[in-house]
Amino acid sequence: MEKVLEVEFESFETSVPEILEKSGLASLIANQKRIIIKPNLTIDKKPPCTTPVELVEEVIKFCKNIIPEAKIIIVEGAGGCDTQLAFKKLSYNELAEKYQIKLTDLNREKRVKRADERAKAIKEVMLPEIIFSGFFINLPVLKEHHEAILTCAAKNLFGIYLNESKPPGITSDYWSKNELHSKYGVMKAIWDLNLYRPSDFVLVDASIGQKGSEVYGEPCKTPIKKLFAGYNNFEVDRYCAPYLGIDPNKVEYLTYQ
């Protein structure tokens, strides 16, 4: 497969299987026993702020067709609301029931310590054990970000982090990832989390796209009408950035070595 693949978006039902077939995903998951699917559900707002449940459904259908016996788990650790609320309001509960798959709130999962001297800021971190237990599929949406400039594949890993300073009992006024901004710095945090858990496969929803900011922005006036796929979060982000009018060389985390 090319570093990044794209297809024109017509519908989730037709375009998702098309790009998954072209990407060669089937051969990679053929012998997998567990598939971990990570959408962007940072808050309980509808797409294009979050990953459409319809896209996730098509990924599930594709995986089940290739490996019907594999266990499929949808994971997320929301930053701006209780993850369970995001699952409920964005129809993920119905999806899980339909396909008999598990929804896992990463903010409440058992964590294990990881360390990496290559990290720029987060030299040690506690991460959910479950994210290391299977083939990791990253399903971000393409948006502008008020601080990182771009939020796509690489920044979607913020969902695996949880502030050290407060336990998982999240309240409505609590942004559970804010240490990544205030303590470590967004750009370095993005880089570091991708060292600890790089994606095995990425599928980006750019059927619409979002401008202005990651949560309170607006849908692109002219929908991008694309889906993108790849295997490296940084390569995917570099490829996708220009579709929002962003120069990838101006996105700090994409310049790191």
Question: Which amino acid is residue 34, in one-letter code?
Answer: R
Give the CATH number, domain containing residue 122: 3.40.50.11440
The candidate with the shortest Cα–Cα distance to 154, out of 197, 96, 119, is 197
pLDDT at 186 over 80: yes
Cβ neighbour number for residue 252 with a 10 Å cutoff? 15
Beta bridge partners of 143: 151, 210
Cβ–Cβ < 8 Å for 100, 199: no
Q: Domain of 58? A: 4-254
pLDDT digits over 8-54, tens only?
999 999 999 999 999 999 999 999 999 999 999 999 999 999 999 99
In tens, the pLDDT along 235-257 reads 999 999 999 999 999 999 999 97
**How does residue 172 score in pLDDT terms, banded at 50, 70 and 90?**
very low
12 versus 177: the higher-pLDDT residue is: 12
Q: How far apart are CA 23 and CA 2, in angstroms?
A: 8
Q: How many CA atoms lie within 13 A of 229 on its CB side?
A: 23
With a cut of 60, say whether residue 170 has pLDDT above it: no
Say what the pLDDT of residue 1 is: 55
Q: What is the mean pLDDT of residues 137-150?
A: 96
DSSP characters over 163-211:
-SSS-S---TT--TTTHHHHTS-HHHHHHHHHHHS--SEEEEEEEEEEE
pLDDT surpassing 50 at residue 80: yes
Give residue 169's pLDDT band: very low, low, confident or very high (50, 70, 90): low
Task: Give per-residue pLDDT as tens, 95-133.
Answer: 999 999 999 999 999 999 999 999 999 999 999 999 999
Q: What is the pLDDT of residues 12-23, one digit of tens each?
A: 999 999 999 999
Total domain count for the chain?
Answer: 1
| Angstrom distance (rounded) from CA 165 to CA 95 | 33
Average pLDDT over residues 218-227: 98
As a whole-number percent, the residues of the chain with pLDDT over 70 amount to 96
Q: Sorting pLDDT into bands at 50, 70 and 90, what band is 2? A: low
- What is d(CA 36, CA 235) in angstroms, rounded to the nearest whole number? 21
Contact 66, 29 (CB under 8 A): yes
pLDDT, tens digit, 9 for 90 and up, residues 188-218: 999 999 999 999 999 999 999 999 999 999 9
